[in-house]
């Protein structure tokens, strides 16, 4: 739509601003799309709940067939267990200081799997297994692209760690990785190669464990970009994408989705006009949007977010150029002054997130909407650690 | 202290990680220092509570003589009113959609002052004053450096807005500004000039209002950097710094304080080692640290934060180079591999924030400590809008 149409959409909404809006129809379509794709590739989904942190979103994933899930904090594990999810992978390398909490969660009925990537961590887990009389389930993290963490698939330490764990009565369930390097890709060929590499590295590590006598039934891969571009996941048993439920501008930049697939946005209100440069001031700063600048590194730099009218139509060329704590400055991408009368004081605008996980994390919950209409449903998020 | 001393400090603390630590002695010293400085300049403090969002911190400000405060959200206004603070300035240009909430807060006993910076906003406030039978108190925002918002001190619209407001029964209390441009300074001369300019522009605007018959008793300036470097605030009646209570790496870069003055840090635990590059992985990513990169633009780039041992001693050269949601990668500034045995798995480290407001906003509250010892006190923060 043209920018002109925005003028009519002023203050007819009562949701307090800034607010995190979630478009239910887009969320459901994103879930259908990823689940259909991975199902066709013969892989089980273990969706990562770090993006949504919401039992209401998780219930849609359950309805779409997901039976196990991934979390990024033990607070998420406690929250989702309390809401009935009993099979969770905690996909951050285990801190020794968290093992007592893990034991308590397992005693409370959680089928919890933890991850680690060093002989030292295997030793710490084995010692805690004795101390807490707890047989931890463990996935060994594999470094598939040098991005962050993990054993090299051919490392001697991988076999040593598995041996240490099994001797202590722990269960080596298999291997997992996160293809963080895929976020540096600029085209679909690169993403397909990243997906192939992620598969090859994890399958190789699992086969090595099996050759040494470990069953290692699980081969788990991560990341929305590689899951979206994978075309052959032979040997992989599960995938753990998370961002796909909402999508974001980084995913648009990577070619994973289109702007019309982004399911969350920040509703804001115009509170001022910068007459000189022809810019708008809205009541959404980094506190509501996050300071994430992820879109700057890939594809199109979207500032702190692209701008839509309240119905979700992208206003061509408009982006959030600058943020303070509670102020956002909206400008035209090419510096051209905006026609201020089209965006009067009190006009409401929606801002698409660079990074869905980061923007959602700034809010206590979701105002669930059907396109531009607030349904009145509010879905809370889990917070903390 | 040398890096070697870090080795001994492993896992002797029970606070779950990551956690926001607040050093009480530094907090108290920062308050004493700023209040003494502004008192000597004859200016009343109206501290900005957007940094701390905590009634416990506000109580220390009350004890130091502050009687009125500044907030950045109406959620803060509700929270602090509920805890007994009755004189609050909401220092973000008013959104028309928030005026009904403002009236409700005033009816509940809050002496609330709002701000605006356009004839259109004055008209919206005047209309709401009639609608809600509410005589809003208003400060007119002045643009002192072209950074964000405000009337030019010599704008015709400034007088028009004041006239519109007083005709509707609202009270034009005076003028306020925020010297956001001071954050671009690289030396103390620049900061002193910014402080002088902030004073001159607001005093000029107030005098213009007075010449037109408005009493305009309040001349209110903002920002920790200009408050810290001001040497003559003649004509100014109040100052609204906020960050000074905690300080941060941006303030160190600006020369406002030293590293030893920073009162908050994020306690984290080593969860892995990147043997190739010689880097550490800790359990504090952008979720715990924020994605703020403010220190990159001024003084020394500190990545996503500088690193201390648990006692708060800075580990020379170490910084958080990269963050994911729950992972932080710590490296040496010059790329030299770290001596891994000094930072074993489970070793606890504290990370100083680039931007105190942003890092604190990622946490639900403060673990109050006396240097390296958790006192067991937990101070909650207000959240949302």
Domain annotation covers residue B385:
no
- Measured between beta carbons, the chain B residues lying within 8 angstroms of A357 are 325
Question: Is A71 an 8 Å CB contact of chain B?
Answer: no
Question: Is A376 an 8 Å CB contact of chain B?
Answer: no
Residues B225 and B291 in one domain: no
Spell out the residues 6+ positions from residue B265 whose beta carbon is closer than 8 angstroms to its own.
B20, B21, B23, B308, B312, B350, B351, B352, B353
* Residue A327 burial class via C-beta count within 10 angstroms: exposed 0-12, middle 13-18, buried 19 and up: buried
Last residue of a domain, which of A181, A214, A245?
Answer: A245
Per-residue confidence (pLDDT) for residue A182, from 0 to 100: 86
Residues A34 and A81 in one domain: yes
Domain annotation covers residue A252:
no
- Classify the phi-psi angles of B383: left when phi > 0, otherwise alpha if psi is within -120 to 50, otherwise beta: beta
More confident residue, A79 or B181: A79
The answer to whether A136 and A114 have CB atoms below 8 angstroms apart is yes
Domain annotation covers residue B229:
yes
Per-residue confidence (pLDDT) for residue A146, from 0 to 100: 87
| Alpha helical stretches, state H, B10-118 | 24-40, 55-63, 74-82, 99-107
Q: Name the nearest CA neighbour of B238 among B11, B371, B45, B40.
A: B45
Q: How far is CA B11 from the centre of its chain?
A: 32
Min CA distance, A230 vs chain B (Å)? 23
Residues B223 and B264 in one domain: no
Residues B314 and B334 in one domain: yes
* Residue A193 burial class via C-beta count within 10 angstroms: exposed 0-12, middle 13-18, buried 19 and up: middle
* Banded model confidence at residue B15, pLDDT cuts 50, 70, 90: confident
The answer to whether B253 and B6 have CB atoms below 8 angstroms apart is no
Per-residue confidence (pLDDT) for residue B372, from 0 to 100: 77
Considering only the beta carbons, identify the residue of A18, A50, A364 that sits closest to B325: A50
Per-residue confidence (pLDDT) for residue B21, from 0 to 100: 96
Q: Name the nearest CA neighbour of B100 among A16, A20, A18, A376.
A: A16
Residues B227 and B281 in one domain: no
- Measured between beta carbons, the chain B residues lying within 8 angstroms of A120 are 273, 344-345
Residues A319-359 pLDDT 10s: 999 999 999 999 999 999 999 999 999 999 999 999 999 99
More confident residue, B2 or B244: B244
Sheet with B111-116: list strands edge to edge: B44-45, B238-240, B218-222, B171-176, B137-141, B111-116, B87-90, B69-71
Residues B64 and B198 in one domain: yes
Q: Is the pLDDT of residue B333 over 70?
A: yes
| Alpha helical stretches, state H, chain B | 24-40, 55-63, 74-82, 99-107, 119-132, 156-167, 188-211, 224-229, 249-254, 286-289, 356-360
Per-residue confidence (pLDDT) for residue B2, from 0 to 100: 39
**Contact between chains at A326 and B276 (C-beta distance less than 8 A):** no
More confident residue, B296 or A101: A101
Q: How far is CA B304 from the centre of its chain?
A: 18
Compute the distance between CA of residue B114 and CA of residue B80 in angstroms, rounded to an integer. 16
Compute the distance between CA of residue A361 and CA of residue A102 in angstroms, rounded to an integer. 24
Per-residue confidence (pLDDT) for residue B308, from 0 to 100: 97
Phi, psi of A117 (to 5 degrees): -145, 30
Last residue of a domain, which of A214, A245, A276?
Answer: A245
State ipTM: 0.94
Residues A315 and A267 in one domain: yes
- Measured between beta carbons, the chain B residues lying within 8 angstroms of A16 are 97-98, 101, 385
Q: Is the pLDDT of residue A167 over 90?
A: yes
Instruction: State the DSSP string of A369-382.
Output: EETTEEEEEEEE--
More confident residue, A67 or A6: A67
* Residue B107 burial class via C-beta count within 10 angstroms: exposed 0-12, middle 13-18, buried 19 and up: exposed
Q: Is the pLDDT of residue A2 over 70?
A: no
**Coil, strand, or helix at residue A357?**
helix
Last residue of a domain, which of A225, A245, A265?
Answer: A245
Per-residue confidence (pLDDT) for residue A164, from 0 to 100: 98
Residues A163 and A75 in one domain: yes
Spell out the residues 6+ positions from residue B277 whose beta carbon is closer than 8 angstroms to its own.
B331, B335, B337
* Nearest residue on chain B to A183, alpha-carbon basis: B324
Q: Which of A14-18, A261-265, B146-150 has the highest mean pLDDT?
A: A261-265
Domain annotation covers residue A251:
no
What's the pTM? 0.95
Question: Based on the structure, what is the number of domains in chain A?
Answer: 2
What are the angstrom distances between the C-alpha of B238 and each of B43, B58, B197, B295? 5, 17, 16, 28
Instruction: List the CATH number of the domain containing B266.
Output: 2.40.37.20
More confident residue, B300 or A367: A367
Instruction: List the CATH number of the domain containing B105.
Output: 3.20.20.10
Residues B148 and B283 in one domain: no
Domain annotation covers residue B251:
no
- Measured between beta carbons, the chain B residues lying within 8 angstroms of A19 are 385
Q: Is the pLDDT of residue A73 over 50?
A: yes
For residue B348, the cross-strand partners are B269
Q: Is the pLDDT of residue A222 over 90?
A: no
DSSP state for residue B242 in the 8-state scheme: -
Min CA distance, B59 vs chain A (Å)? 23
More confident residue, B4 or A66: A66
Compute the distance between CA of residue A22 and CA of residue A300 in angstroms, rounded to an integer. 23
Spell out the residues 6+ positions from residue B181 whose beta carbon is closer than 8 angstroms to its own.
B144, B145, B146, B147, B194
Domain hosting residue A99, numbered range: 25-245
Considering only the beta carbons, identify the residue of A73, A95, A385 that sits closest to B271: A95
* Residue A320 burial class via C-beta count within 10 angstroms: exposed 0-12, middle 13-18, buried 19 and up: buried
* Residue B304 burial class via C-beta count within 10 angstroms: exposed 0-12, middle 13-18, buried 19 and up: buried
What mean pLDDT is reported for chain B? Answer: 94
Chain B interface, best mutation among A287, A356, A359, by max B CB count within 10 A:
A287
**Contact between chains at A364 and B383 (C-beta distance less than 8 A):** yes
Phi, psi of B317 (to 5 degrees): 90, -15
Mean pLDDT over residues B282-302, rounded?
Answer: 91
The answer to whether A46 and A58 have CB atoms below 8 angstroms apart is no
* Tokens found for residue A20: 């995190």
Q: Is the pLDDT of residue B66 over 50?
A: yes
Per-residue confidence (pLDDT) for residue B290, from 0 to 100: 97
Residues A7 and A107 in one domain: no
Residues B38-53 pLDDT 10s: 999 999 999 999 999 9
- Measured between beta carbons, the chain B residues lying within 8 angstroms of A18 are 385
Per-residue confidence (pLDDT) for residue A59, from 0 to 100: 98
**Contact between chains at B292 and A269 (C-beta distance less than 8 A):** no
Mean pLDDT over residues B58-63, rounded?
Answer: 98
Count, in order, helices (H) and strands (E) of chain A: 11, 17
Compute the distance between CA of residue A133 and CA of residue A43 in angstroms, rounded to an integer. 33
Dihedral in degrees, nearest 10, Cα atoms A124, A127, A132, A138: 50
**Contact between chains at B117 and A272 (C-beta distance less than 8 A):** yes
Residues B227-284 pLDDT 10s: 999 999 999 999 999 999 999 999 999 999 999 999 999 999 999 999 889 999 999 9
* Tokens found for residue A159: 């076999």
Domain annotation covers residue A385:
no
Mean pLDDT over residues B131-146, rounded?
Answer: 95
Residues B192 and B56 in one domain: yes
Domain annotation covers residue B252:
no
Residues A227-274 pLDDT 10s: 999 999 999 999 999 999 999 999 999 999 999 999 999 999 999 999
Residues B117-126 pLDDT 10s: 999 999 999 9
* Tokens found for residue A219: 């081969």
Compute the distance between CA of residue A366 and CA of residue A15 in angstroms, rounded to an integer. 11
Residues B202 and B77 in one domain: yes
For residue A314, the cross-strand partners are A308
Q: Name the nearest CA neighbour of B287 among A281, A177, A72, A284.
A: A72
Residue holding tokens 């003494």? B36
Domain annotation covers residue B89:
yes
Question: Is B274 an 8 Å CB contact of chain A?
Answer: yes
Per-residue confidence (pLDDT) for residue B13, from 0 to 100: 56
The answer to whether A194 and A226 have CB atoms below 8 angstroms apart is yes
Min CA distance, B302 vs chain A (Å)? 16
Mean pLDDT over residues A208-230, rounded?
Answer: 96
């Amino acid at each position: 739509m043209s920018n002109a149409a925005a003028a009519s959409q002023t203050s007819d909404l009562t949701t307090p601003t800034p607010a995190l809006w979630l478009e239910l129809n887009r969320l459901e379509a994103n879930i259908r799309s990823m689940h259909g794709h991975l199902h066709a590739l013969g892989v089980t989904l273990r969706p990562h709940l770090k993006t949504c942190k919401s039992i209401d979103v998780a219930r849609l994933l359950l309805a779409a067939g997901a039976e196990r899930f991934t979390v990024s904090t033990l607070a998420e594990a406690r929250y989702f267990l309390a809401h009935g999810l009993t099979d969770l992978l905690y996909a951050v390398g285990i801190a020794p200081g968290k093992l007592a909490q893990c034991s308590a969660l397992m005693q409370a009925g959680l089928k919890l799997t933890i991850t680690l990537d060093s002989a030292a961590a295997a030793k710490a887990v084995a010692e805690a297994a004795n101390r807490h009389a707890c047989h931890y389930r463990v996935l060994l993290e594999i470094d598939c692209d040098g991005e962050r963490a993990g054993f090299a698939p051919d490392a001697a330490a991988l076999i040593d760690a598995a041996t240490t764990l099994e001797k202590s009565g722990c269960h080596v369930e298999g291997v997992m990785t996160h293809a963080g390097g895929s976020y540096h890709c600029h085209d679909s060929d690169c993403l397909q190669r990243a997906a192939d590499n992620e598969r090859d590295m994890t399958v190789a590590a699992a086969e090595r464990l099996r050759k040494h006598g470990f069953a290692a039934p699980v081969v788990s891969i991560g990341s929305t970009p590689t899951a979206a571009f994978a075309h052959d996941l032979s040997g992989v048993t599960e995938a753990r994408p998370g961002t796909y439920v909402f999508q974001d501008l980084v995913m648009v930049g990577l070619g994973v989705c289109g702007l019309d697939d982004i399911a969350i946005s920040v509703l804001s209100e115009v509170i001022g006009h910068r007459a000189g440069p022809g810019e708008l001031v809205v009541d959404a700063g980094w506190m509501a949007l996050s300071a994430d600048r992820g879109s700057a590194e890939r594809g199109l730099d979207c500032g702190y977010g692209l701008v839509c009218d309240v119905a979700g139509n992208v206003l061509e060329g408009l982006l959030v150029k600058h943020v303070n704590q509670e102020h956002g400055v909206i400008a035209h991408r090419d510096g051209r002054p905006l026609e201020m009368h089209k965006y009067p004081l009190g006009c409401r605008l929606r801002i698409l997130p660079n990074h869905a996980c980061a923007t959602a994390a700034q809010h206590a919950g979701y105002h669930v909407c059907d396109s531009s209409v607030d349904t009145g449903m509010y879905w809370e998020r889990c917070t903390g650690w």
